[in-house]
Amino acid sequence: MNPVRFPVSVILQRTPLANRWFAERWEPVEVERSADEAAATAPTPIPGEGAVSRWRCSGFAIELHRSEAEGYFLNTTAPDPKIFVMWRPVEEEATPPIRPEVVTVSYNEAARLMDGGERVDAVPMLPEVLAWMEPFIALHYKPEPKRKVRRNDPFADRDAGGDRRRQR
């Protein structure tokens, strides 16, 4: 089965810092819907005011896979659903000096990426992405049935009618 795709662009923001070690901070701050899923293009600056600058990185898509349905469910039932952006620094001198690599809505996938040492930032989820995900989750996510847990009770045999030594 082919994955279900939702085309998006990632907005990166440069914030100047009054810090003796770092002059600026780059981070993903927003994900917006794209008109189509075009090939990735060079980041384009977004006109703005002040010292903060933003760049649009297009050509990304959120993909839904049946195997990640639990991660989608966990995200959508959280108080603040998020879109996770995995990004990496660019080797050559470029502006912006970071590039998004993966955009996902699965808690589990984001956790695996972070466990692997990748940089992952969460941005607020768009309401239209949430509405797009809900039918997929309803179709593919079936929670595990709750099972009764049997406790390891060392005195269970005595309560059942005698000492263990006599039953052997």
**pLDDT, tens digit (0-9, with 9 covering 90-100), for 129-160:** 999 999 999 999 988 888 877 777 777 666 55
Q: If you average pLDDT over residues 5-34, what whole number do you get? A: 93
Six-digit token pair at 43? 């980041």
111 and 121 Cβ atoms separated by less than 8 Å: no
The separation between the first and the last C-alpha atoms of the chain, rounded to the nearest angstrom, is: 57
Q: pLDDT tens digits, residue range 46-77?
A: 988 788 999 999 999 999 999 999 999 999 99
**Alpha-helix residue ranges (DSSP H) falling in the chain:** 69-76, 107-115, 127-140, 156-159, 164-167
Please, what's the largest Cα pairwise distance for the chain? 85
CA 18 to chain centre: 30
Q: Is the pTM of this model over 0.85?
A: no
Strands 53-64 and 24-33: unpaired
Q: Map tokens 């010292």 to a residue.
A: 51
Give the C-alpha separation, 107 to 137, whole Å: 13
